[in-house]
Amino acid sequence: MLILSRKPGESIVIDGRITVKIIRLEGDMVKLGIEAPREVPVHRQEVYDEIQANNREALTDPLSKVPKLPPSSNPMSNQRLGTSESGHLQMKSASIGHSKNGLNGK
């Protein structure tokens, strides 16, 4: 681990793309400003740890936490959606025909 000393207003640069600036000291707290490209995720350690734990849980238990959708009250969607024997939603095929006024569903 690299340990650096910085005063408020001073910065460090990481990889030429990320700047970490000491904004101010408040008691035993240090306020940091971080400039990084949008594609570089920046999280507090406890948030990062929670994200990682959730990702691991999703990989080991992928379907148990996925809620089932309630039946729709829209009559058109009821005609096009069905439920399989296992309770999963399935899309039914629909044909579209032409009329004088445009397209109509059959």
Res 41: pLDDT: 94
Band the pLDDT of 102: cuts 50, 70, 90: low
Question: Could you report the per-residue pLDDT of 51-62, keeping only the tens digit for each?
Answer: 999 888 888 875
Res 106: pLDDT: 46
Question: Could you report the per-residue pLDDT of 64-92, keeping only the tens digit for each?
Answer: 566 677 776 655 544 555 555 555 555 55
> CA nearest 44: which of 29, 27, 59, 58?
29
Report the DSSP beta bridge partners of residue 69. Answer: none
Residue spans per domain, the chain:
11-60
Whole-angstrom CA distances from 70 to 28, 65, 76 are: 51, 15, 15
Question: Could you report the per-residue pLDDT of 15-52, keeping only the tens digit for each?
Answer: 999 999 999 999 999 999 999 999 999 999 999 999 99
Res 82: pLDDT: 54
Res 74: pLDDT: 57
DSSP letter for each residue of 32-73 = EEEE--TTS----HHHHHHHHHHHHHHHHSTTTTPPPPPPPS
Cα(23)–Cα(7) distance, integer angstroms? 9
